[in-house]
Chain A
Amino acid sequence: MSEVGGGESGYDLEPFAPEKERAVVMRAVGLTKTYAAVSGAAGRGDVELFRGLDLTVHAGEMVAIVGESGAGKSSLLHLLAALDRPTAGEVWFGKQRLSGFTERDAAEFRNRRVGYVWQFHYLLPEFTALENVAMPLLARGMGRGAALAKARVWLGEVGLLDREDHRSGELSGGEQQRVSLARALVTEPQMLLADEPTGDLDGKTAEVVFGLIQKLHREHGLTSVLVTHNLEFAGRCDRMLRLRDGQLV
């Protein structure tokens, strides 16, 4: 616990330390992520996405992260969701240090603490909308009846109760993304991570989905981090951060 990557910031590592008026839910300290150069280009060296990046997210906050394509926004979100490991630095979720996770811990974390929405809906095509929503609950061993009942509630929250028996191929783009939002939230996570959730949708549909995220964020007291290209949506968040030259500003 003592070694802290990129500790130049001298961050206070006590999680949930009262800072301003709200508790800290997530804190990234000195995050560095580099990728080995692909296609064997000798001498090109590694690609560095960000170095010594810090981020603090408070409870109930809705943070937007904007930035150019390829700036590493998605990679940052992967690190926050324990889908990937940083090259250096630490991510803390409450008192949990994500880089100390085993594979099992990381799976548990993703199943119970965070909900993840991708740019593309990524619904499983073999399953109905309802089954897709229930999937995270089934994965943790919840009984089928209970899982489906809870999934139905969340399908109702995104306004798609009448579509529960439809497969993803039978849903429109907006509906697919709403189902995937329900799937992210059915586990009642503390935090919602969304990677350009409206990026694939046309203006009107995007508005509907973003409005829904805002509504659920409010109603369920979520803490949310959204990556988006849409500056208008970003402006409607509590805080907007720009990822530029490997740093959040």
Chain B
Amino acid sequence: MRFELFIAMRYLRAKRRQAVVGVITAISVIGVAAGVASLIIALAITNGMRRDLQERLVGSTAHVELMRVKGDGIRDWRALLERLRGVPQVTAAAPGLYGQVLISRGARSGGALIKGVIPKDEKTVGDLLQSVVDGSADALEPVASGRAAVVETHVPEAGHGAAKSSKGAEEQQISELGEQDVRQDAAVDAQAQAEAARVLGAVAAVPPIVIGKDLAETIGAGVGDTVLVTSPQGELTPLGLVPRYQRFSVVGIFKSGFYQYDSSYAFMRLTDAQRLFHEPDLISVISFKVDDLYHADRVGVAIEQAAGAGFQTTNWMEQNRELFRALKLEQVVTFIVLALIVCVAALNILIALTMMVMEKTRDIAVLMSFGVRAEQVRRIFLLQGLLISVIGTVLGLVVGYGLSWAGGHYQFIKLDAAVYSIDHLPFAPKFVDALIVTAVSLGVSLVATLYPSGSAAKVLPAEALRYE
């Protein structure tokens, strides 16, 4: 093999009698490099997009959600919650009550999915409350702990809200709970009592709600505005079925980057949601975070078993299966399309080697005349093709990884954050991609060398030199 490599390397380096062979060899190397670099960069981008999407998606939502098979809601949830927090691999759990509502402000309205939450728990299973871009989610905290934040950050809004809410006396009654909390707290903090009472009285009068950015735009609501939340689960009155409705004050607007959430999600305190839906002390779902998100399905089964009969779980993979399948398909198609560049480059290798074999027929015959075997001749040209491919592949890997790294580090390809919810093109080159790309590149090139190296091995020395 040393001998064959020695000859092949010298042939590759040497000046050609026919300049065109050298040119085609150079083009082959560049072609392979371009193909490999394109593949690496494209795969890095699709990986980056996928990773970014997954991080945001998985961050925004719970990994596993537990609910009743019948959909009748979970009673006695506190004990169950504590028990399920002990399931192995579960890192966090939070109760939630979902309900479909209509949110309106003046003439504008939009459908929304309300999730009643305990914020300190909800923040451990989802990022949406941490993604508040306008206002703050702090007002959702039970007033006992969230009071200070409310006072400090929402004085103008609260004042604004107070002006509006003073119109309706019924709103005062609705948030008795909040007022109780306030009173207890105000007793502790005597100095700020007068001021707090004035502000909080107004804030607590209208319970807080945090809504998604797109939903906020749909209904034209900003932080501090009051919106009307209407539940379709009406009340039977002497006048017939009357929808239940209640005013809420928008204290925060979140933006996750996912239209699905930003256009239809809204958060309120669990107690407020229970009151709105007339479901005292009932929750519809327990959300979980697990330590390994790729084991969400297995942990889900464990949670189901721990919860007992009548419960079922879904996980983030099931909920987003179509999305990730589409991303995978996109990646495969990208790979195939760009692999065609490598195929074209391999065609160049085929041409370069075929021409070289033609040019070297006499030399091949001479080599054979002093005892070089046909298989050695075949290997010389096989190696030469592989050398072209290896040089091109290494060059392509360096360029591809270099550009991917630079793209990720300097973020020089900017995106419209409003459209893509990320302001730069993410690059996430993976080692396994390099292995696959290298294998494809070398494999395709090897196929391209088979014909020329085979025809080199078929040279008959006596024939080749007879007419010289």
Contacts and interface: CB of A to CB of B under 8 A. Distances in A.
Q: Do A and B come from one complex?
A: yes
A104 B3 contact: no
Contact of B10 (A75, A78, A122, A126): A126
Given A84-B462, A139-B3, A107 B363 contact: no
Interface stretch (B49-57, B238-246, B329-337, B366-374): B366-374
A225 to B, nearest CB: 15
Contacts of A187: 370-371
A104 B368 CA distance: 11
Q: Is the interface of A mostly helix, strand, loop or mixed?
A: helix
Nearest to B376: A139
B369 A141 contact: no
Interface residues of B, number: 26
A198 interface: no
Interface stretch (A16-24, A89-97, A112-120, A208-216): A112-120
B123 interface: no
A75 B461 CA distance: 12
Contacts of B11: 126
Given A84-B462, A141-B3, A127 B10 contact: yes
Contacts of B369: 81, 83, 110, 116, 118, 122
Contacts of B363: 122, 124-125
A177 interface: no
Contacts of B374: 103, 107
Interface string A159-200: 000000000000000000000000110010000000000000
A107 B371 contact: yes
Nearest to B16: A126
Of the candidates A107, A110, A120, A141, the one having the most CB atoms from chain B within 10 angstroms of its own CB is A107
B466 A74 contact: yes
B363 to A, nearest CB: 5
B147 to A, nearest CB: 85
B371 A126 contact: no
B465 interface: yes
A108 interface: yes
B271 to A, nearest CB: 86
B462 A110 contact: no
Contacts of A144: 2, 6
B152 interface: no
Contacts of A84: 460, 462
Nearest to B1: A141
B372 A107 contact: yes
A136 interface: yes
B468 interface: yes
Contacts of A125: 14, 17, 363
A125 B461 CA distance: 18
Contacts of A141: 2-3
A120 B468 contact: yes
Given A83-B462, A139-B3, A111 B370 contact: yes
B10 A104 contact: no
B424 interface: no
A108 B468 CA distance: 25
Of the candidates A78, A81, A120, A187, the one having the most CB atoms from chain B within 10 angstroms of its own CB is A78
Nearest to A77: B462
Contacts of B183: none
Given A120-B468, A126-B14, A107 B368 contact: yes
Contacts of B2: 138, 141, 144
Nearest to A121: B366
A226 interface: no
A135 interface: yes
A135 B367 CA distance: 8
B362 interface: yes
Given A138-B3, A139-B3, A141-B3, A124 B372 contact: no
B462 A112 contact: no
A116 B363 CA distance: 14
A136 B460 CA distance: 18
Contacts of A220: none
Nearest to B465: A118
Contacts of B3: 138-139, 141
Contact of A116 (B13, B370, B373, B460): B370
A4 to B, nearest CB: 23
A136 B373 CA distance: 11
A180 to B, nearest CB: 9
Contacts of A236: none
A239 interface: no
A6 to B, nearest CB: 20
Interface in A72-89: 74-75, 78, 81, 83-84
Interface in A119-159: 120, 122, 124-127, 135-136, 138-141, 144
A139 B461 contact: no
A120 B373 CA distance: 22
A183 B6 CA distance: 17
Nearest to A84: B462
A187 B362 CA distance: 21
A81 B461 CA distance: 11
Interface string B147-170: 000000000000000000000000
A109 B370 CA distance: 9
Nearest to B11: A126
Nearest to B14: A126
Nearest to A115: B370
A184 B371 CA distance: 11
Given A139-B372, A139-B376, 11 more contacts: A81-B369, A84-B460, A103-B374, A107-B372, A111-B370, A118-B465, A122-B465, A136-B370, A138-B3, A140-B371, A141-B2
Closest CB pairs A-B (n = 3):
A111-B371, A84-B462, A126-B14
10 contacts: A74-B466, A78-B462, A103-B373, A107-B371, A111-B372, A122-B366, A126-B11, A126-B14, A139-B367, A144-B6
